[in-house]
Amino acid sequence: MSKVACIGECMVELKQAEHGLYSRGYGGDTLNTAVYLARLAVGVDYITALGDDALSDEMIAGWAAEGVGTGRVMRLAGKLPGLYMIQTDDKGERRFFHWRDSAAARSLMDLPETPDILESLAGYDVIYLSAITLSLYGPAGRTRLFAALKRAREAGVRFAFDTNFRARGWPDLDVARTVFQEAFTAADIVLASTEDLLPLYPGLSNESLLARIPGAEVVLKLSEPASIVRLEGVPYPIKAKPVEAPVVDTTAAGDSFAAAYVAARLAGADPIEAARAGHRLAGVVVCHPGAIIPRAEMPSGLVPNHANSR
């Protein structure tokens, strides 16, 4: 079985319920991707840091129940996970509010165990992380992580970078652009979107945004239900099938797209086929509230039945 390492942060999630109430769960972009990967029969470990509190215990148990590996989750005494709140409008668009400045995950690149964690990355088939992941660490931490990604790639591991951008995590946009460019250069697969990139590169066309990304395998998700897959410099427009049910919550649309894309690529699908799988899963996810849909609602036959080709 192929194995993916997802690196990032999971937080306590508060989402709107009725009469001004909120329900409690947990979520985070790379954790959402890890759960969907596990549901698509991909072996996946989640790499992060949590506290030693009851909420962190609950997260660990929930991830394990989903089939996500937790052996590389660091537990830090006296620390807590971050917290975020989701508000959605009548079109399902979401707004996030975060309380995470002292969250345990921010220490991941500065622990006594960090060298062992980073060396372990060479044992995976794919390493997946997002721009939110990179925003958690300071310059020294990012330098350690990029050096480990380079060593892993030299060992044959593929690095998939998702451009998931949250302005709150990047108070200096020039720093963000520099880090994004380093990630673009390092990545084997870039999963980008105009929603993420236009705040960094305002006014650029789709073609100009793609031109900023040097990789051979790039997906640019558009504002409409479509994407452009660029392979070896050649763009291929992809139209998503219309979403039949009402859109109620766009949370995790990009995270689920990434999971289906990576799972399909690991199963031997070409990037165009993988992008179609991504659009299909995302089109189901946005019709349900919250980041993780009920297991019974997962679409069947999502990942093409190819021989696994790493």
Active site residue 255: yes
* 283 Cβ neighbours under 8 A, 6+ residues apart: 225, 240, 241, 243
Cβ atoms within 10 Å, residue 208: 11
Among candidate residues 52, 125, 255, 270, the one labeled active-site is: 255
Stated length of the chain:
310
Strands (E), the chain: 3-7, 11-16, 22-27, 43-51, 73-76, 83-88, 94-99, 126-130, 158-162, 189-193, 217-221, 226-231, 234-239
* Paired strand residues for 6: 46, 128
CATH 3.40.1190.20 applies to domain 3-297: yes
Q: What local confidence, expressed as pLDDT, does residue 289 receive?
A: 83
Three-state DSSP state, 305: coil
Closest CA to 166 of 190, 125, 133: 133
Q: Which of 302, 296, 299 is nearest to 276 (CA)?
A: 302
d(CA 45, CA 204): 36
The residue ranges of every structural domain in the chain are 3-297
What is the rounded distance in angstroms from the CA atom of residue 172 to the CA atom of residue 263?
34
Q: Which of 34, 117, 105 is nearest to 72 (CA)?
A: 117
What is this structure's pTM? 0.94
Report the candidate in 247, 206, 251, 198 with the shortest Cα–Cα distance to residue 226.
206
Q: What is the pLDDT at residue 1?
A: 64
Residue spans of the chain under pLDDT 50: 307-310
Specify the pLDDT at position 86.
79
Strands 126-130 and 43-51: unpaired
pLDDT of residue 306: 56
Q: Which two tokens stand for residue 215?
A: 């990789």
Cα–Cα distance between 182 and 188 in angstroms, integer? 12
pLDDT of residue 15: 79
